[in-house]
Amino acid sequence: MPKILITNDDGIFAPGIQALWEALRGHADVTIVAPSSQKSGVGAAITIRQPLRVEAIDKFEGTKAWSVGGTPADCVKMALGVLMDSPPDLVVSGINQGSNAARSVLCSGTVGGAIEATMHAIPGIAFSCYEFHTPNYEAAASFTVPIVDYILKHPLKEGVLLNVNFPCLHAPYKGIKWALQGRQYWVDKPIQDGDHFWIESKELKFEEHAESDIAYLEKGYVTATPIKVTELTCHDHYKARKTHFESFFSLPVTK
Beta-ladder partners of 31: 5, 64
pLDDT score recorded for residue 110: 98
**What is the pLDDT tens value at each position of the chain, 255 positions in all?**
999 999 999 999 999 999 999 999 999 999 999 999 999 999 999 999 999 999 999 999 999 999 999 999 999 999 999 999 999 999 999 999 999 999 999 999 999 999 999 999 999 999 999 999 999 999 999 999 999 999 999 999 999 999 999 999 766 899 999 999 999 877 778 889 999 998 887 777 888 999 999 999 999 999 999 999 988 999 999 999 999 998 988 766 565
Query: Angle, nearest 10°, between helix axes 137-153 and 15-24?
Result: 50
Contact between 126 and 163 under an 8 Å Cβ cutoff? The reply is: yes
Instruction: For the beta carbon of residue 24, count every other beta carbon within 10 angstroms.
Output: 22
Contact between 17 and 34 under an 8 Å Cβ cutoff? The reply is: yes
pLDDT score recorded for residue 172: 85
Contact between 90 and 123 under an 8 Å Cβ cutoff? The reply is: yes
Instruction: For the beta carbon of residue 254, count every other beta carbon within 10 angstroms.
Output: 4
Contacts of 76-79 spanning 24+ positions with Cβ under 8 A: 76/5, 76/7, 76/33, 76/113, 76/116, 76/117, 76/120, 77/46, 77/116, 78/33, 78/52, 78/54, 79/5, 79/7, 79/31, 79/33
Q: Length of the chain in residues, anyone? A: 255
Give residue limits of the domains in the chain.
3-248
**How many C-alpha atoms does 11 have within 13 Å on its Cβ side?**
7
pLDDT score recorded for residue 254: 60
Contact between 9 and 96 under an 8 Å Cβ cutoff? The reply is: yes
If you count DSSP H runs as helices and E runs as strands, how many of each does the chain have, helices first? 6, 11
Indicate the residue type of 194: G
CATH of the domain spanning 3-248, picked from 3.40.50.300, 3.40.710.10, 3.40.1210.10, 3.90.850.10: 3.40.1210.10
